Amino acid sequence: MRIGILTGGGDCPGLNAAIRAIVRRSIDAHGHEVYGIRDGWRGLVEGDVYRLESSDMAGLIREGGTILGTSRTNPYKDEEQLKSVKENIKRFEFDAIIAIGGDDTLSVATKLSEDGIACVGVPKTIDNDLSATDATFGFDTALTIAVDAIDRLTTTARSHHRTIVVEVMGRHAGWIALHAGIAGSAHCIMLPEFKMSISEVVAIINKRKEAGKKFHIIVVSEGAAIEGDESAVTQDDSLDEFGHVRLGGIGEYVGKEIAKQTGDEIRTVVLGHTQRGGSPTAYDRMLATRFGLAAADYVNDGDFGKMAALRGNEIVPVPLSDATSELKLVPAELYNLAKTFFG
């Protein structure tokens, strides 16, 4: 078999570990040929592919980013691009495509599958918002980085008797904010899923002040829903090929509004892409490896249209369409538990 693999969407730690597992399993165990497709679906639009060997995978498990490169190219937005993708799959005689990605990348794989192309998916995203899998790799590393940052910000906030607002990633789903906020012992967590007003945040800060507390850590997801202000805080008006705006800046907004209501000196820290960079945690290396091995086996078995998913402790094949039909959001029960620690 000739297998093409690509990584699409925002990068995350663990992508190289998944590539390594797919390549080693497909070549060493199954005897197939594997080709790297550069920069996500763009590589199939432009025919930008190259042969991968097992020996290229040395040391990759610990490397951040993706050796294949990535992009947010969406061939279903443009008929010509889609035609090129299909022609190139034929031209390179690919028997299967393994797409490693989040909801956008895998939604393309889902549509290609429906169009009769043999695709298998591997779930990744720091946002942890893919349905049909209990976890995606990248999330644990992002979370570890965010908690480390909150720990550090806590000591400086305590020394200066300050309020620090920490903005973390998470467009529609607040998994990073929720977990980092709980694990980092934040005093308030603002999520996309549940609206909160600035007055409520200020009430939490005031209650802490009454109890003699002089520093306050507020964790804000970049897509947090603010009561009384429906517009998302964005970097600019542009949309990517999947129709997403570029979020960022809500931390600054929240900080300024808190300052207006309290008169306090506020500091805001945006963790941004730091959360996506660098080496994966051991957990993400393992999860990415298990997903990669499973995806290589699905291809070898001809089990197409599937994504490797974590269910409990097992890796199981699930229909690609299940993974992309809706986002996995933070449920109310979990948010209510987190509120135990507000204040």
Instruction: Based on the shown chain and the rule CB under 6 A, indicate whether residue 125 belongs to the binding site for ligand F6P.
Output: yes
Smallest CA-to-CA distance from 108 within 328, 332, 337, 320 is with: 320
Number of residues that bind ligand F6P (CB under 6 A): 12
Q: Which residue has the tokens 């007003």?
A: 197
- Cα–Cα distance list, 44 to 9, 40, 240, 342 (Å): 15, 8, 19, 48
Active site residue 11: no
Write the interaction track for ligand F6P spanning residues 206-235; mark x where CB under 6 A is met and - where it is not.
----------------x-------------
Interface with ligand F6P includes 126 (CB under 6 A)? yes
- Residues 278 and 141: beta-carbon distance below 8 Å: yes
Applying CB under 6 A, among 39, 63, 127, 257 the residue interacting with ligand F6P is 127
Write down the least CB distance from residue 277 to ligand F6P, Å: 11
Helix axes 198-210, 250-262, angle to 10 degrees: 50
Instruction: Give the C-alpha separation, 27 to 175, whole Å.
Output: 36
CB of 223 vs ligand F6P, minimal distance in Å: 7
Q: Decide if 25 contacts 293 (C-beta within 8 A).
A: yes
Q: Nearest approach, Cβ of 22 to ligand F6P (angstroms)?
A: 21
Judged by CB under 6 A, the residue of 20, 24, 38, 171 near ligand F6P is 171
Sign of the alpha-carbon torsion through 201, 207, 210, 214: negative
Cα(169)–Cα(190) distance, rounded to whole angstroms? 12
The nearest distance, CB 169 to ligand F6P, in angstroms, is: 3
Residue 155 burial class via C-beta count within 10 angstroms: exposed 0-12, middle 13-18, buried 19 and up:
exposed
List binders of ligand F6P among 267-326 (CB under 6 A): 276
- Phi (first) and psi of residue 121, to 5 degrees: -110, 150
Which candidate in 127, 140, 284, 297 is catalytic? 127
3, 37, 247, 338: residue in contact with ligand F6P (rule CB under 6 A): 247
Which two tokens mark 77? 């937005």
Pick the piece of the chain touching ligand F6P (CB under 6 A) from 50-58, 92-100, 122-130, 207-215: 122-130
169 lies in the site for ligand F6P, by CB under 6 A? yes
10 binds ligand F6P, rule: CB under 6 A = yes
User: CA-CA distance, 201 to 271, in Å (whole number)?
Assistant: 20
CB of 146 to ligand F6P, least distance (A): 11
- What residues are labeled active site? 127
Site residues for ligand F6P per CB under 6 A:
9-10, 102, 125-127, 169-171, 222, 247, 276
